[in-house]
Amino acid sequence: MRSIWNGAISFGLVSIPIKLVNATENHSISFRQIHKEDGGRVRYRKICELDDQELTAAEIGKAYESEDGSVIPISDADLAALPLPTAKTIEIVAFVPADSIDPLQMDAAYYLSASGVPAAKPYTLLREALKRSNKVAVAKFALRGRERLGMLRVVDDVIAMHGLLWPDEIRAPEGVAPEADVTVRDAELDLADALMDTLGSVDLASLHDDYREAVEAMIAAKAEGEPAPERTPAEAGGGKVIDLMAALENSVRAAKGARGEEGGAEVTHLPERKRKQAAKKTTAKQATDKQPAKKAATAKKSASAKKTASAKKAAPAKKTASSGRKRASA
């Protein structure tokens, strides 16, 4: 693979010469613009708006346009003279847990290749250190005229780097979430759980671009002068969901049918939250059932206490009456 950048990884006082290689490639089909009437190619030409002359690449430079419309020429020498320590260095600034990187920041991906035999040992050292720490390295580097953030991680036996957007380049999701106050029932969540379980996991390597394949088949047919393949009508979808429960049940059935499984969308087990709710209801019912018995026991105890108190009051009076009879007899 052809390298697009040569430099070094700065790992403390260790310098690792590396080459930067694109880790991804674009398989999208490119189209040309043509004149519909005669099929002629439509090309873009760079014309100077002052003298209407077509310019070559060597005649075109850079400039910055200020808010008042004035143009400030910027040369490659001006940019090269900037104090940019990361111009030829991927400078590691920290090691952090992988889950601390927001996927929204992910940008282009690259492979870092050790440049030459002397780079093999420090390259392997950094790779194994990343493996053992279960962390990723956050780095700064310069590419295509600007400084960028990067995240280094291990892929198989290679150090890969993902370009990262700067934090202030990520928009806040304000006004994106539904504004209406919506309540989701447990039964709907249970069906959603069942649908997720039915769909299960997938081997990403088995997924492919159906649209690109259809375009390629159409182009091949037209090149041979044959009619384009007929398109299989897609099932209606994407409309307003009136009955969410019915839609979820049908989705579970369809997913099971696609996997060759039998049965409908019945949920045969209680999810964890359902079991907790059922346990709470049972505990509350037992407490309610115990209340009458508790009240009865309390009432019985109270009556017994009253009876004992009455007996104690009556005992002295009886004793006094007996003493009076004894004195009269004497």
CA-closest candidate to residue 16, choices 159, 146, 145: 159
Query: Under a CB-based contact definition with an 8 Å cutoff, are residues 158 and 232 in contact?
Result: no
- Using DSSP, state whether 218 is helix, strand or coil: helix
302: left (phi over 0), alpha (psi -120 to 50) or beta: alpha
Residue of higher predicted confidence among 285 and 173: 173
Query: What is this structure's pTM?
Result: 0.63
Query: Under a CB-based contact definition with an 8 Å cutoff, are residues 55 and 165 in contact?
Result: no
pLDDT beyond 70 at 140: yes
Highest mean pLDDT among 11-15, 98-102, 248-252, 273-277: 98-102
Parallel, antiparallel or unpaired: strands 71-74 and 14-22: unpaired
pLDDT beyond 70 at 235: no
Encode pLDDT of 62-87 as tens digits.
Answer: 999 998 989 999 988 887 777 776 67
Residue type, position 66, single letter: S
Residue of higher predicted confidence among 200 and 295: 200
| In the chain, domain spans | 3-25+64-169, 186-231+240-258
- Helix axis angle for 272-329 and 186-199, nearest 10°, is 140
Indicate the pLDDT class of residue 328, thresholds 50, 70 and 90. Answer: very low
Encode pLDDT of 17-30 as tens digits.
Answer: 999 999 999 888 99
Indicate the pLDDT class of residue 124, thresholds 50, 70 and 90. Answer: very high
What would the mean pLDDT of 282-308 be, rounded to a whole number? 50
Considering the four listed CATH numbers 1.10.540.10, 2.40.30.10, 3.40.30.10, 2.40.290.10, the one that applies to the domain covering 3-25+64-169 is: 2.40.290.10
- Using DSSP, state whether 148 is helix, strand or coil: strand
